[in-house]
């Protein structure tokens, strides 16, 4: 227990100091956004055992909505992000409502197909800018008070939001709702026979996950100043699955580790190996599924339990 | 009657024809998916990648070894099928008995490896494969012009699809296969080599995908991502048809291709979406799929 506390303390210290020790803040912000995305995804996969292959739809569509509200309607960043989240929540309600009608692999295929539907809508709808996406999104100032042009100020805001989301997910998982969700994950027929309306719990989890994914996407668009088709693409859905799986599904900190590893890999490895990044990510996927299905954090935790026993 | 709703009949028939060609590919791919899933419980996400691999095998065979189309039609599926057998023996085998989601994730990773490598080696631009000489040109059927090659694709896939159906539903080998999906340990106790059967099934399903790739290579541009979006549509087809039935996979594949072609005539913007919308409707009205049993 003490080791965990020390680890979290060190990480918090690192996160607070990051802009001052030569780490590019935009990269750190992108990392935090994807870590948030992966945590939101993990709520669904890790605690509800629902494998969604279409989560990029929520991340990317919210990014579009936020960028569009800012550029076309001159809305402030705070409200625009709330707008992106609201649309992601609605989208989650529709897609989740359809997908939970089937289980397991069918659930995965349905979310994949509906995610692709959202992708085509983004490709053809008039407000998304087609192949170019929406570019030059100004950061503006939060609620007209805090100017966000400076990378450092925006970084601390993103960090704050990330910590809030992280703690919120912890709270949700430890709440009675989260316990029921885990019961459904372990044995759905039994949960139903105990009187729980399992579809309702699954739908709520799905909408929560979609909303938080939307928050991550909206923030990411604000940080980078653009929303593009690659945010809604199936490959982004694949990446968030890999982040969660690599770090450890069903652990709290795993998705953060996974996101940090994958993004660092993409950022720094692409200079060395060029276009092989996709293939390398595929290799990591295969290695993960074959040899450490519990993920990095999950395996470490299991190791510690073994040592104590 | 040369026009319907102000659209020339020849245009409508031409698009339906294209739809039927796409539908043939959907049918071949979803058939392979259904066979693999039925016996192994694995949803093969790499199916699109094997389709791409088939097309590349034909293209490279022609460019480097001068292998003609008809030979490629036989050799490419065999080669890709052999790759499939190796993958089953080395990787997929380790996941039997686990949650089927892991099979999906593993094959997703495989698809990334195949498509990422092809993209890196051959670039993003597509290359065209020449239509074989004996099938170039077309015939005028008076009400429409039929390009011979497209007619051949439809004929070939329908024959292969029903051939596969026949083998599985009407032969001794098929009976063994179906017995293995029902109760593999019992079948093994009777002395049937079930692991071999599984490897052969995966190889066979994958070879069907490669065959579709070879058939497609003269009508599409051969590039590394030709299978990526296709496999998503095929998944939707499988959700619509239900994976339980082989005939269901064939029929829904062809029908959805035609519907897609028809949408291209009346409302082109929606042609990419129509299969997914139909999937959503089927999920609302008949969640188990049209031919499926839950």
**What is the pTM (predicted TM-score) of this model?**
0.90
B9-54 pLDDT, tens digit per residue, is 777 888 888 889 999 999 999 988 888 888 788 889 999 999 999 9
Q: Flag whether A289 is in a domain.
A: no
Q: Kindly list the residues from chain B whose CB atom is less than 8 angstroms away from the CB atom of residue A275.
A: 116, 119-120
Provide the shortest C-alpha distance from residue B245 to chain A (in Å): 15
Whether residue A277 is contained in a domain is answered as no
Interface list for chain A against chain B, based on CB atoms closer than 8 Å: 51, 98, 101-102, 104-106, 108-110, 112-114, 116-117, 120-121, 123-124, 234, 238, 241, 245, 274-286, 288-290, 293
Mean pLDDT, to the nearest integer, of A102-128? 87
H helix and E strand count, chain B: 11, 4
B13 touches B143 (CB < 8 A): yes
Q: How far is B291 from chain A (nearest CA, A)?
A: 14
Quick: pLDDT tens for A264-296. Answer: 888 887 778 777 888 888 998 899 889 888 888
- Residue among B101, B228, B287 whose CB faces A101 most closely: B287
**Domain hosting residue A131, numbered range:** 23-233
Residues 6+ apart with CB under 8 A from B16: B258, B261, B262
| 3-state SS string for chain B | CCEECCEEHHHHHHHHHHHHHHHHHHHHHHHHHHHHHHHHCCCCCCHHHHHHHHHHHHHHHHHHHCCCHHHHHHHHHHHHHHHHHHHHHHCHHHHCCCCHHHHHHHHHHHHHHHHHHHHHHHCCCCECCCCCHHHCCEEECCCCEEEHHHHHHHHHHHHHHHHHHHHHHHCHHHHHHHHHHHCHHHHHHCCCCHHHHHHHHHHHHHHHHHHHHHHHCCCCCECCCCCHHHHHHHHHHHHHHCCCCHHHHHHHHHHHHHHHHHHHHHCHHHCCCHHHHHHHHHHHHCCCCCCCCC
pLDDT, one tens digit per residue, over A138-148 is: 777 777 677 77
Alpha-carbon span B226 to A118, nearest angstrom: 20
Contact A289 B106 (CB under 8 A): yes
- Please state the rounded mean pLDDT for residues A66-80: 87
Residues of B in contact with A104 (CB under 8 A): 99-101
Q: Please give the interface size between A and B, counted as residue pairs whose CB atoms are below 8 Å apart.
A: 120
Tell me whether residues B94 and A121 touch, CB distance under 8 A: no
Shortest distance, CA A63 to any CA of chain B (angstroms) = 21
Across the interface, which of B105, B109, B273 has its CB nearest the CB of A120? Answer: B273
pLDDT (tens digit, 9 = 90+) per residue, A211-269?
999 999 999 998 988 888 888 988 899 999 999 999 988 888 899 999 999 998 888 87
Between β-strands B145-147 and B138-140, what pairing exists: parallel, antiparallel or unpaired?
Answer: antiparallel
Answer for the pair A285, B108: CB distance below 8 angstroms, yes or no.
Answer: yes
Total number of domains constituting chain A: 1
What is the torsion angle, in degrees rounded to the nearest 10, for the CA atoms of residue B106, residue A100, residue B270 and residue B278? 100
A206 CA: distance to closest CA in chain B (Å): 17
Task: List the domain boundaries for chain B.
Answer: 3-285
* Structure confidence at residue B131 (pLDDT): 85
- The answer to whether position A244 is within a domain reads no
Confidence of residue A20 (pLDDT cuts 50, 70, 90): confident
CATH class of B3-285: mainly alpha
Q: By the CB < 8 Å criterion, does B100 face chain A? A: yes
Q: Give domain status of residue A192, yes or no.
A: yes
Provide φ and ψ at B138, rounded to 5°. -160, 180
- Please give the Cα distance from B111 to B52 (Å, whole number): 10
Q: Is A265 within a domain?
A: no
Nearest-Cα distance to chain B for A213, in Å, is 21
Which of B93, B95, B104, B119 to probe the A interface (max A CBs under 10 A)? B104
A146 located within any domain: yes
Kindly give the interhelix angle for B100-122 and B228-241, rounded to the nearest 10 degrees: 150
Residue B211, pLDDT above cutoff 90? yes
The 8-class DSSP code of residue B100 comes to H
Tell me whether residue A13 is in a domain: no
- To test the contact with chain B by mutation, choose from A112, A235, A237 the residue with the greatest count of B C-beta atoms within 10 A, namely A112
Crossing angle of the two packed helices A104-124 and B228-241, in degrees rounded to 10: 130
């Amino acid at each position: 227990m003490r080791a965990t506390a020390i680890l979290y303390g060190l990480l918090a210290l690192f996160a607070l100091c990051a802009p001052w020790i030569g780490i590019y803040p935009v990269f750190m912000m992108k990392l935090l956004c994807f870590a948030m995305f992966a945590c939101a995804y993990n709520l669904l996969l890790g605690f509800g055992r629902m494998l969604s292959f279409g989560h990029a739809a929520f991340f990317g569509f919210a990014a579009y909505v936020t960028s569009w509200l800012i550029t076309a309607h001159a809305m402030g960043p705070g409200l625009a992000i709330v707008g992106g989240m609201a649309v992601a929540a609605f989208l989650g309600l529709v897609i989740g409502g359809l997908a939970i009608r089937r289980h397991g692999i069918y659930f995965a295929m349905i979310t994949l197909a509906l995610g692709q539907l959202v992708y085509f809508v983004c490709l053809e709808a008039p407000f998304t800018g087609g192949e170019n996406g929406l570019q030059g999104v100004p950061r503006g100032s939060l609620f007209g008070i805090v100017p966000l042009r400076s990378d450092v100020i925006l970084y601390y805001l993103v960090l704050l939001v990330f910590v809030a989301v992280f703690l919120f997910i912890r709270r949700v998982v430890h709440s009675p709702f989260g316990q029921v969700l885990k019961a459904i994950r372990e044995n759905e027929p039994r949960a139903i026979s105990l009187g729980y309306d399992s579809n309702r719990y699954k739908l709520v989890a799905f909408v929560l996950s979609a909303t938080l994914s939307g928050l991550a996407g909206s923030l990411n668009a604000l940080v980078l100043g653009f929303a593009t088709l690659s945010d809604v693409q199936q490959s982004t859905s694949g990446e968030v699955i890999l982040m969660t799986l690599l770090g450890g599904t069903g652990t709290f900190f795993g998705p953060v580790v996974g996101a940090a590893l994958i993004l660092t890999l993409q950022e720094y490895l692409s200079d060395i190996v060029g276009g092989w990044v996709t293939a390398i990510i595929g290799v990591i996927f295969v290695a993960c599924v074959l040899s450490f299905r519990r993920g990095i954090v999950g395996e470490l935790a299991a190791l510690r339990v073994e040592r104590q026993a | 009657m040369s026009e319907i709703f102000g659209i020339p009949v020849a245009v409508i028939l031409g698009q339906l024809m294209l739809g039927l060609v796409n539908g043939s590919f959907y049918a071949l791919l979803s058939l392979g998916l259904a066979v693999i899933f039925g016996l192994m419980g694995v949803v093969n996400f790499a199916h699109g990648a094997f389709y791409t691999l088939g097309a590349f095998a034909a293209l490279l065979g022609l460019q480097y070894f001068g292998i003609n189309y008809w030979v490629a039609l036989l050799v490419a599926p065999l080669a890709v099928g052999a790759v499939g057998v190796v993958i089953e023996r080395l990787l997929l085998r380790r996941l039997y008995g686990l949650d089927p989601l892991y099979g999906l994730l593993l094959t997703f990773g495989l698809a990334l490896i195949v498509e990422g490598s092809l993209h890196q080696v051959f670039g993003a631009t597509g290359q065209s494969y020449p239509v074989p000489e004996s099938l170039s040109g077309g015939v005028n059927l008076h009400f429409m012009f039929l390009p011979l090659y497209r007619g051949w694709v439809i004929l070939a896939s329908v024959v292969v699809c029903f051939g596969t159906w026949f083998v599985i539903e009407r032969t001794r080998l098929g009976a063994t296969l179906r017995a293995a999906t029902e109760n593999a340990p019992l079948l093994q106790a009777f002395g049937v080599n079930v692991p071999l059967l599984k490897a052969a099934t995966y190889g066979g399903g994958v070879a069907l995908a490669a065959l579709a790739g070879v058939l497609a290579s003269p009508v599409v541009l051969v590039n590394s991502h030709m299978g990526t979006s296709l496999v998503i549509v095929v998944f939707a087809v499988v959700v619509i048809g239900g994976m339980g039935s082989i005939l269901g996979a064939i029929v829904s594949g062809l029908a959805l291709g035609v519907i897609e072609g028809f949408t291209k005539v009346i409302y082109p913007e929606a042609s990419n979406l129509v299969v997914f919308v139909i999937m959503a409707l089927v999920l609302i009205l008949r969640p188990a799929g049209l031919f499926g049993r839950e």
